[in-house]
Amino acid sequence: MKKGFDNKKYVKVQSEKIKERIKMFDKLYLEVGGKLFDDTHASRVLPGFKSDSKINMFQELKDDLEIIFCISAGDIEKNKTRAEYGITYDMEIVRLINKAQSLGFFVNCVVITLYKNQIAVDKFIKKLNRQGIKTYIHTYTKGYPTDVDTIVSKAGYGANEYIKTKKPLILINAPGPASGKLATCLSQLYYDHNKGINAGYAKFETFPVWNLPLKHPINMAYEAATAELNDLNMIDSFHLEAYKKTTVNYNRDLEVFPVLKNILFKITGKNIYKSPTDMGVNMVGFCITNKKVVEEASKREVVRRYYQETNNYKLGIVDEEAPKKIKMLMNELGIDEKYLDVVEPALVKSKKQKRHVMSLKLPNGKIITGKQTDLLSPSSSLIINALKELTNIPDNIKLLSPSVLEPIMKIKLNTDDEYNKTLQLQEILIALSICSVTNPIIKKALTNIRKLENCEVHSTYIVQDGELKTLKGLKVNLTCEPDYYYNNIIIN
C-alpha cells in the first residue's frame, strides 16, 4: 500500500498543538470528534495514518487526563449500530471503556444525554453501575438554543448533575455523532466557572480538514461518511471575516457557533474564539505527503460509503436521501461504483454462475473470487482461495479434507435454514486453525491471513451477522450489493 500520510509527524505536531491549548486554562474539556480508538475512516482516506494515532498521542499525558464518554438515550433506545463492528452504541460504550482502562487511562464516567425515562436506558445504566462505572443523566437543556440567560442558569446547565473531575485535561468522547458531547462540556464549564475554576473548551476533530479545499476528495469523503446526518462542508464565514483566510468547517458547527459564542461569553466573560476553526486543534492537513494517494483513497471511500448507505436503505435503516446524497458526491468526483475494481468481477461471475459471489483484490493487485457452493458460503470460498493464492498452493489441492468437515456438516444439516447449511467463514477458520496443528501447509497458509488487511472485498449480497463480524475482524474493506442472500440474482 502506497502511503500518503506521515503518521509520525502527525503525532508530534498534533500533541504539541493540544499542549498549547491546555496551557491556556486551568482545566480543558477537549471534545474528541470521531473515534478516539480505531479511527478506521482516517486510516482509509489517509494511507499511512494509523488507526490508533489519537490514543497514542495521549499516552504521554495519561497521568494528567481523564475520559468522559457520552451516549444519547435515543441511540440506546433504538439500538443504533456502529457499522464497523456491527455492534450497538451501548455495547460500543462498554468496549471503549474496557479498551481505555486496559491502556491505563482513567475513565471518569458515562453521561446519558437527552434522557426521557426510557426503559432500555434504565437497564443500561444498571448494567454500567453493576460493573463499577459511574453514570450521570442529562436531560434536554431548558432554553436551548435561543434563551442564553436560561441556558446558563440553574434551570439550564445547572439542572444537570456536576461531574467531579481532578485532572487538567478531560477528553469527552462518544460512540458516534449527536451524542451530547458539546452540551456535556458546556455544562461542566458552567459549574467550574461558578467555582472559580478557569476551565476552557476546545475541539479535536479530524474531518473536515480545515486547510484543504472545500471540494477536496478527503472532505467529500467526510460528507459521504455523515450522509445520514446530512452534514455539509462549508467555508467558515466567521474565520474569513475575522482573519481574511478561507478555511473549511461543517454546517452543524457553523450553525451553532453564534449560540456557542454567546454561551461561552456568558459563562467565562471572554470571547476566546472568533470562529469554529479557532476552536479546533486539527493538524492533519499538514501531514499529507502524497496528494494523489490520499485523493484516490478518498474517492474509494466515497464509493464504499455509497454501498453502505444503499444497504442501509434496503434494510430500512435510512431513507433514500442518504445514498442519493453520496451518489451526487460521486458524480461531482467523476466516479461510479466500478471505481472499486473488485465490483465488476463479482457481478460478472455471479451472472455467469447464477450464484452469489465475493471478490477480493490481493496486495499484488490480483483479484480472487469465491462463489456459493453446496458446501461453502461465498466468503468461505473466497478466503480459502485467497489463502491458497498467497501461499502458492495449487488450486486442485484441498485445504480441508472431507473427514474434517463431515462432523460439522452432520450438525448443520439439522437446520431448516438453507443459508446456514453451508459452512460459514468463522467455522472454516476454526477448522483450519485446528488442522494447522498437524498440517504445516495449513499453518503456513494461516500466517498469510494478515495480508488480507485493508484488501477490497465486494459481495453480490448483503453480508450480515456472524460472517460480517468475521470479515470485519479480518479488517478487509467490505462492500455489498443491496440484495438479500435469498433473492433471485438479477444483475443488469
428-459 pLDDT per residue, tens:
999 999 999 999 999 999 999 999 999 999 99
**CB-CB contact of 302 with 217 (8 Å):** yes
Fold agreement (7-287, 341-480): no
Q: What is the pLDDT of residue 358?
A: 98
CATH class of 341-480: alpha beta
pLDDT for the residue numbered 1: 76
| pLDDT at residue number 408 | 75
Q: What residue spans define the domains of the chain?
A: 7-287, 341-480
Q: Which of 388, 360, 370 is nearest to 474 (CA)?
A: 360
Could you report the per-residue pLDDT of 324-334, keeping only the tens digit for each?
999 999 999 99
Superfamily of domain 7-287 in the CATH hierarchy: dip2346 domain like (3.10.630.10)
Which residue in 160, 266, 250, 249 sits closest to 210, CA to CA? 249
| The amino acid at 23 | K
* Cell numbers for 74: 435515543
Condensed to tens digits (0 to 9), the pLDDT of residues 281-321 reads 999 999 999 999 999 999 999 999 999 999 999 998 889 99
Q: Rounded to whole angstroms, how far apart are CA atoms 85 and 3?
A: 25
The residue assigned the cell 468522559 is: 68
Interatomic CA distance for residues 91 and 96, integer angstroms: 9
Phi, psi of 225 (to 5 degrees): -70, -25
Q: Measuring CA to CA, which residue among 15, 17, 29 is closest to residue 168?
A: 29
User: Cα(168)–Cα(106) distance, rounded to whole angstroms?
Assistant: 13
Distance separating alpha carbons of residues 136 and 177, to the nearest angstrom:
19
pLDDT given for residue 419 in this prediction: 57
- From first to last of its 492 residues, what are the pLDDT tens digits of the chain? 799 999 999 999 999 999 999 999 999 999 998 888 889 999 999 999 999 999 988 998 999 999 999 999 999 998 888 766 668 999 999 999 999 999 999 999 999 999 999 999 999 999 999 999 999 999 999 999 889 999 999 999 999 999 999 999 999 999 988 899 999 999 999 999 999 999 999 999 999 999 999 999 999 999 999 998 888 999 999 999 999 999 999 999 999 999 999 999 999 999 999 999 999 999 999 999 999 999 999 999 999 999 999 999 999 888 999 999 999 999 999 999 999 999 999 999 999 999 999 999 999 999 999 999 988 999 999 999 999 999 999 988 888 877 777 777 777 666 555 556 788 999 999 999 999 999 999 999 999 999 999 999 999 999 988 899 899 999 999 999 999 988 644 443
Residue 50, sorted as left (phi over 0), alpha (psi -120 to 50) or beta, turns out to be beta
In order of 11, 130, 249, 263, 331, the CA distances from 183 in angstroms are 28, 26, 19, 11, 37
DSSP per residue, 16-70: HHHHHHHTTSSEEEEEE-S-SS--HHHHHHSTT--TTHHHHHTGGGGGGEEEEEE
pLDDT of residue 395: 86
Catalogue the E-assigned strands of 223-265: 233-235, 248-250
Q: Could you give the CA distance from residue 254 to residue 235 in angstroms, rounded to a whole number?
A: 9
Distance between CA atoms of 448 and 474, rounded to whole angstroms?
11
Strands, E assignment, 332-482: 357-361, 367-371, 456-459, 477-480
User: Which are the contacts of 421, defined by CB distance < 8 A and separation ≥ 6?
Assistant: 412, 413, 415
pTM of this prediction? 0.91
